[in-house]
Amino acid sequence: MDMKLKDLIEGKRSIILERWFDAILETYPTDSSGFLKKKKDRFANPVGHAISQGTEGILEVLVGGKELTEDLPFLTDIIKVRAIQDFTPSKAMTFIFLLKKVVRESLEKEIRQNQIYGALLEFESKIDDLALFAFDIYVKCREQIYDLKTEELKRMTYTLLKKANLMYEIPAQEFEVKDQGCNP
């Protein structure tokens, strides 16, 4: 990563994180976003906490030049939260792309003054790569949720059928092979 851009992002890190956090909360319904914004406590507000911690970790990886992989726990934490909520896949992933807008707006003057558009494009390309990893994680989370729902539906159906006496368990002895004298 270009050192000038890295220094500029580091210099406005807290502003960028705060604006990004606020932009992510705007994707939630108004009644939820107020609560999520007020408390970042892990136990009182696990969603707000996951978003806050996750955004810090994501920015650290992007600015620190670390390798982007699917094995980013802070990214996975945010994706898990968004996968179980009522978001479409595009809405669930939008939080990643909001970082581009926040960085451009926060550093607009500095980027223009330092003529570092190429570095900005490189940084935004890393955000795009991160979005691809995030989408893979999202799909895996949704698959797991659907599997859990399917198993729960099977269990509930079995229980209802059994209660309605429409299903019964076959005793194990009925499955035993009876000796009919066919042994040589």
- Cα dist from 145 to 45, 130, 140, 163, whole Å: 22, 22, 9, 27
User: What local confidence, expressed as pLDDT, does residue 135 receive?
Assistant: 94
Say which residue the tokens 């890295």 belong to.
Answer: 6
Distance CA 168, CA 45 (A): 45
Residue 158 falls within a domain, yes or no? no
Residue 151 falls within a domain, yes or no? no
User: What local confidence, expressed as pLDDT, does residue 184 receive?
Assistant: 39
User: What local confidence, expressed as pLDDT, does residue 183 receive?
Assistant: 40
Q: What is the mean pLDDT of each run of 10 residues along the chain (184 residues)?
A: 91 96 89 69 83 93 82 89 89 96 96 93 95 93 92 87 69 51 41
Structural domain boundaries enclosing 20: 3-141
User: What local confidence, expressed as pLDDT, does residue 180 receive?
Assistant: 47
Residue 20 falls within a domain, yes or no? yes
Q: How many domains does the chain have?
A: 1
| Pick from 102, 88, 86, 77: nearest CA to 24 | 102
Distance CA 150, CA 154 (A): 6
User: What local confidence, expressed as pLDDT, does residue 176 receive?
Assistant: 53
Question: Residues near 127 by Cβ (< 8 Å), separated by ≥ 6?
Answer: 62, 96, 97, 99, 100
Distance CA 142, CA 114 (A): 43
Distance CA 157, CA 72 (A): 38
Residue 169 falls within a domain, yes or no? no
Residue 148 falls within a domain, yes or no? no
Distance CA 133, CA 76 (A): 10
User: What local confidence, expressed as pLDDT, does residue 159 receive?
Assistant: 83
Residue 176 falls within a domain, yes or no? no
Residue 100 falls within a domain, yes or no? yes
User: What local confidence, expressed as pLDDT, does residue 13 receive?
Assistant: 96
